[in-house]
Amino acid sequence: MEVTCWQQLAAEVLGSLDGKNVRLMFDCYHQQKIRSDLLRSFERYLPLIGHVQFASVPDRAEPDHGEVNFHWLFREMQSLGYEGYFGAEYKPKDTAGTNIGWLKSLQFGTAQFDKGSRSSVGYW
């Protein structure tokens, strides 16, 4: 079988399962690199998405620069009704991995990232 869209394949697998405890992870970095059109793809798979992962495109560094305006994108995702998790997975420019100043500039609706938000940060 030739797979032309991994998200479509994942959606079909999820559709064949009887349960709500398995969700799709929407990877903004790979979606933008491979297909672009992040918001339209997100909207298409929204009922199945439980986690949004992100990093800057094209360098996969901190999400404070690059092709995607995450501040805008996250607001749009929430306006569509998304209430799931967000997580940053990126290669830090700072090799010590201590600079997360970009985190304060991202806002989700009217709330910023804080201890009570559904957010995570990971880097490799």
| pLDDT digits 0-9 by tens, 18-72 | 777 888 899 999 999 988 889 999 999 999 999 999 999 999 998 989 999 998 9
pLDDT at 8: 80
- For the chain, domains (ranges, CATH) are 6-123 (3.20.20.150)
What are φ and ψ of residue 94, in 5° steps? -80, 110
pLDDT at 80: 95
**Cα 93 to chain center, whole Å?**
20
More confident: 111 or 59: 59
Q: At what angle do helices 38-45 and 70-79 cross, to 10 degrees?
A: 30
pLDDT at 103: 77
Task: Determine contact, residues 40/26, Cβ cutoff 8 Å.
Answer: no
Whole-number percent of the chain with pLDDT over 70? 77
pLDDT at 4: 55
